[in-house]
Amino acid sequence: MAIQTSTQKNTLASSYIGAALYAAVYTTAPGGSAGTEPSGGSPAYARKLISWGSPTAGVVSGTCTFDIPTGTTLVGAGVHTAVTSGTYLDGVAVTSQAFASQGTYALTLTFTES
């Protein structure tokens, strides 16, 4: 059965963003498990706290920006419950992007409850 009300869609979207607190990027594609996160760099790569908006009609977006080390090629992104360790919750392939030198990567995540 499809969810009929925006109220319930927003409730489920709020639950998702309440658990999916930190984003990561990967050098290998995520699936049922997380991909491989980059390491090193100056400033060093680290997972980032996601700045989520408010759900509207079951849709919510969040953003964050990562420091990416030289020689890294990104192919995926995902969400975790903690800044280190924690639980991998979800992931997706992204358009491959290579970094010949230290740089930044801006990520926008969107969750849609339908």
The model's pTM is 0.92
What distance in Å separates the CA atoms of residue 1 and residue 80, rounded to the nearest whole number?
29
17-33 pLDDT per residue, tens: 999 999 999 999 999 99
**Residue span of the structural domain in which 92 resides:** 6-112
In a domain, 40, yes or no: yes
Domain count, the chain: 1
Q: Is residue 57 a part of any domain in this protein?
A: yes
**Cα(52)–Cα(75) distance, integer angstroms:** 22
Q: Tell the residue number behind the tokens 């009929």, with chain if given.
A: 4
Q: How confident is the model at residue 107, as a pLDDT?
A: 98
Does any domain span residue 94?
Answer: yes
The pLDDT of residue 114 is 85
Candidates 78, 67, 80, 61; CA nearest to 22 is 80
In a domain, residue 1? The reply is no
Contact (Cβ atoms closer than 8 angstroms) between residue 50 and residue 79: yes
What one-character-per-residue DSSP string does 94-111 give? EEEEEESSSEEEEEEEEE
Please report the pLDDT score of residue 1 as a whole number: 77
